[in-house]
Amino acid sequence: MFCNTDIDWSATGSMLSAIAAFVAIIAVWYQISQVRKSLDDSNIMKVLEIEFELNRRRERSSDLKMEIIKNTKDKLKIDYSQEEIQAFKDSLAFYDASYENYLNCLDRMCFFIIRGSFSEIDFREDYKKTLDIIVNSEDFNEKFNGQANYKNIVRLQQKWN
């Protein structure tokens, strides 16, 4: 009778251990799925942050270009003072720096797409034309020597064509 009870307890203990292991596996699976969901959400936030920053820099660059055009158009004359010429050169340098900041952000985004951190499918439709315009523009090739400074932009544009 004693032996029979010991067998029942060991069977019960084994059954409880199996149930506990099963519950632990479910708990671990749930935690892993939550971590995966968190990483997906984090990736979405990174994408949104980069797109926001990219748009902010593009707007700033466009605003500066429009300001230069407006100031130049309003003051068309033959003789400019040295101060006016220097102010114009400073405005152009400020625009160039702004445009370079925009390209730096775009190049970083292209790096993440090439590396696979961001989904290529999500970006291709929205940025293919932008990359084509930038890489083929005179501005890009003259001022920034094209491929030398922004390899990721050029690499992704060539990949998508």
pLDDT in tens, 46-76: 777 777 777 777 777 777 777 777 766 666 6
Q: What percent of the chain has pLDDT over 90?
A: 1
- Residue 83: phi and psi, rounded to 5, are -65, -40
pLDDT at 43 over 70: no
pLDDT at 94: 79
pLDDT at 41 over 50: yes
Residue range 68-106, pLDDT digits in tens: 777 666 666 666 777 777 777 777 777 778 888 888 888
The pTM (predicted TM-score) of the whole model is 0.59
pLDDT at 21 over 70: yes
